[in-house]
Structure 1
Amino acid sequence: MTPSRHQAAIQAQLRSIASLAEPVRQTLYRFVVERSQPVSREQAASGVGVAHHVAKFHLDKLEEDGLLEVEYRRPAGRTGPGAGRPAKFYRRAAREIAVSLPERRYELPGRLMAEAITASTASGEPVAATLRAAAHATGERMGEQAAQLAGCRAGADELVTAVCGVLEAEGYEPRATFDRITLSNCPFHGLAKDYTGLVCGMNLHLMRGLVDSLDDERLQARLDPATGRCCVTLTRPRD
């Protein structure tokens, strides 16, 4: 079975992390990221005490796996026609890599809470109200994505598949049955454990925004807390 885009992204991140299991490669990575300036192959080889060809192999592998980025320039002091080709310099990649099993996504609630606090400060509304509004608006955008994926003539099954794809991309693990979509994990588990009412309320309004934007009364979001899964369940549309 072909992996989804979300599954492929996780696989790529796992490959990146697994790349650091090789001891020499990990040492070279640490050497590069601890420098304030990009590092050449020669500098890296000398810095960790390995042969130039060994450093080249592992640095290029780190670049391939998305852990390092490169730039090309001539080393200091080499100018003019006889300076040769620009050398390859390595630096830490800007891309963030994080894998958790089961998956957790704290960026989304962090962004929603920051948006809510900003709106509350500007308007004087309670933070709880602005958080609900921020979550609902974000859910609407998720619903719009699902509608685009499903297409204008989508039936119930196509709509469910599209909704599950959008939820999966946000870190949920949707499980569709004949009458509902159950979210078998909570991407915000750590926060929900300590701030249950706040986070579950935010999650409910996120899902309500999603289903409201679909304009399909057959799909509903409701609080349905249970051990080991998300507190919200989506009742499933049926043709």
Structure 2
Amino acid sequence: MGLDHTSLTTLAVLGDEQRRRMFDFIRQERHPVTREEVAASLGISRKLAAFHLDKLVTAGLLRSHYQSPVGMIHKVGRRPKVYEPMAQAIAVSIPERHYEMLADVLIEAVLTEGGGESARDAALHVAYERGETLGSAGREQVRPGLLGAEQELSLAADTLEKFGYEPERAAPTLLRLRNCPFHPLAAKAPELVCAVNQAFLAGYLHGLGSDKTTAVLAPRPDACCVELRADGVAQGSSGPGTACGR
């Protein structure tokens, strides 16, 4: 799977040394700064600073508006243009990772854990339900009717590519996932993370309406621990309580 357009744009813009230094300077200032301040910090012209700053704004890394800079008394006339970082964090990873999805599942599991239920079991149930919701939404969007095994895998590949799994159609009835979106966390706690991953994918298939494809634990080096099989092989992937075999 390739990086999405936003990630590629971010990489390209910050690949320029001057723009990267500008971005670092503005973040460190902790208040909106003018083009003149940026130009002075880098020892370049105001015109060149403005060019690079506009690139950073277009890429969504900075926002600009007009106000009096910190410590400056406003004079009659238009306020100067100032720049400050966007509020959201910037995360670009190759290959793609989705730690926030795993963290969200674990947090909800802790908050919703019922009496007599372990935190691990709660996490598996939450992951399964998240996957089920995703699968149901996908089915509703494409309205595929009765799905064949190969259609199920094709739909799964399109969806899982967006989550960084890097799906590979190894055979008509086998979808391998070349990337683990939760690595290296999976390497630190494989039993938990792989079980959550499998529960999520099993829930997705159930929500999709699949009755021919299963999410099977099949650990391989440098790849996701789960693969989707439509060959009738089911290894404990029918529900959220599945244990990880790693």
Q: Per the shorter chain, which TM-score range? A: 0.7 to 0.9
Change over 3 Å in CA distance of 1:71–1:159 after alignment to 2: farther
User: Which residue of structure 2 aligns with residue 226 of structure 1?
Assistant: 220
What percentage of residue pairs aligned between the two structures are identical? 31
- Which region of structure 1 is more displaced relative to structure 2, 60-69 or 39-48? 39-48
Partner SS, residue 189 of structure 1: coil
Question: How many Å separate the matches in 2 of 1:185 and 1:21?
Answer: 25
Question: How many Å separate the matches in 1 of 2:116 and 2:66?
Answer: 51
Partner SS, residue 117 of structure 1: helix
- Measured against aligned partners, the alpha-carbon deviations of 1:92-117 in whole angstroms (never above 9, x if no partner) come to 12243323222222111111111112
Return 5+ residue gaps in structure 2 as ranges.
233-246
User: Which residue of structure 1 aligns with residue 136 of structure 2?
Assistant: 144
User: Which residue of structure 1 aligns with residue 54 of structure 2?
Assistant: 60
1:185 positional shift: 1.6
- Measured against aligned partners, the alpha-carbon deviations of 1:29-51 in whole angstroms (never above 9, x if no partner) come to 12111112111112222233221
User: Which residue of structure 2 aligns with residue 117 of structure 1?
Assistant: 110
Please say if 1:161 is aligned against 2:154: yes
- For 1:170, give the aligned amino acid: F
- RMSD of aligned Cα (Å): 2.4
User: Which residue of structure 2 aligns with residue 14 of structure 1?
Assistant: 8
Match of 2:207 among 198, 203, 213: 213
Please say if 1:107 is aligned against 2:100: yes
Change over 3 Å in CA distance of 1:102–1:36 after alignment to 2: closer
Higher helix share: 1
Question: How many Å separate the matches in 1 of 2:151 and 2:81?
Answer: 48
Question: How many Å separate the matches in 1 of 2:120 and 2:151?
Answer: 34
User: Which residue of structure 2 aligns with residue 3 of structure 1?
Assistant: none
- Which region of structure 1 is more displaced relative to structure 2, 58-67 or 38-47? 38-47
Tell me how many residue pairs correspond in the alignment.
228
Partner SS, residue 83 of structure 1: coil
Report the TM-score when normalising by structure 1. Answer: 0.84
User: Which residue of structure 1 aligns with residue 195 of structure 2?
Assistant: 201
Report the TM-score when normalising by structure 2. Answer: 0.82
1:123 positional shift: 4.2
User: Which residue of structure 2 aligns with residue 130 of structure 1?
Assistant: 122
- For 1:207, give the aligned amino acid: L
- 8 A Cα contact 1:147 1:159, kept in partner: no
Please say if 1:30 is aligned against 2:24: yes
Return 5+ residue gaps in structure 1 as ranges.
1-5
- Which region of structure 1 is more displaced relative to structure 2, 227-236 or 147-156? 147-156
